[in-house]
Chain A
Amino acid sequence: AQSVSQHNHHVILSEAASLELGCNYSYGGTVNLFWYVQYPGQHLQLLLKYFSGDPLVKGIKGFEAEFIKSKFSFNLRKPSVQWSDTAEYFCAVNARDSGYALNFGKGTSLLVTP
């Protein structure tokens, strides 16, 4: 069975600070990897995804993530956060043999202070 682990449950940063959120997964086969964001009062939105190819993927709003297969990791990064990045961030994986159902981590709550 797949599992997803997000290392930080709560992160507080000042504006312009750099962000890195850790995500590790366990699964023996080929997976697709995702980062979703949930802004306060809004629904889940896709930040970025990795299916194959270049392990460094760029998403919306200046976010990027790097897939390191040997470490089973898919960490999310942003060089300079803004107050508007305050949100809940979820790492998720899926695979063909599980019908592409998403397996989410517990989420990381990010608070960016002015």
Chain B
Amino acid sequence: EAEVAQSPRYKITEKSQAVAFWCDPISGHATLYWYRQILGQGPELLVQFQDESVVDDSQLPKDRFSAERLKGVDSTLKIQPAELGDSAMYLCASSSAGASSGQQFFGPGTRLTVL
């Protein structure tokens, strides 16, 4: 069964350092989402891509966060500089177009700890 891949699974960094997370969606899925899940809360959308275009990045803290999906396949989420409050699980999800586009498939996430 196809899965969404994410790496690294865990990342520990110091405050003010740069970090990057990678996501490879299920093959053929045009829509890719990045969510952030703070401990004890539900995931919250950071950015949504349709192919290589950003559809919604209204909740992305653009002063420090950036996201790209250059060829419309895999995606990278970057934080520079990292802050203590960025400690969270970063989840990537993908979905296909069409009638089933309401359903998303999630990767295992990257757990970020900022010291």
Contact = CB atoms under 8 A, between A and B. Distances in A.
Contacts of B42: 4, 90, 92, 104-107
B33 A32 contact: no
Interface stretch (B14-22, B48-56, B72-80): B48-56
Contact of B45 (A42, A90, A102, A105): A102
Contacts of A46: 103, 105
Contacts, number: 57
A107 B89 CA distance: 15
A4 B48 CA distance: 20
Contacts of B56: 98-99, 101
B103 A101 contact: no
A107 B45 contact: no
Contact of A43 (B33, B95, B108): B108
B109 A43 contact: yes
Main DSSP-derived SS at the B contact region: strand
Interface residues of B, number: 25
B107 interface: yes
Given A99-B55, A99-B56, A101-B33, A44 B106 contact: yes
A26 to B, nearest CB: 15
Contacts of A98: 56
A36 to B, nearest CB: 8
Interface string A16-49: 0000000000000000101010000011111001
Given A44-B43, A100-B102, A103-B45, 5 more contacts: A43-B107, A99-B31, A99-B48, A107-B40, A107-B41
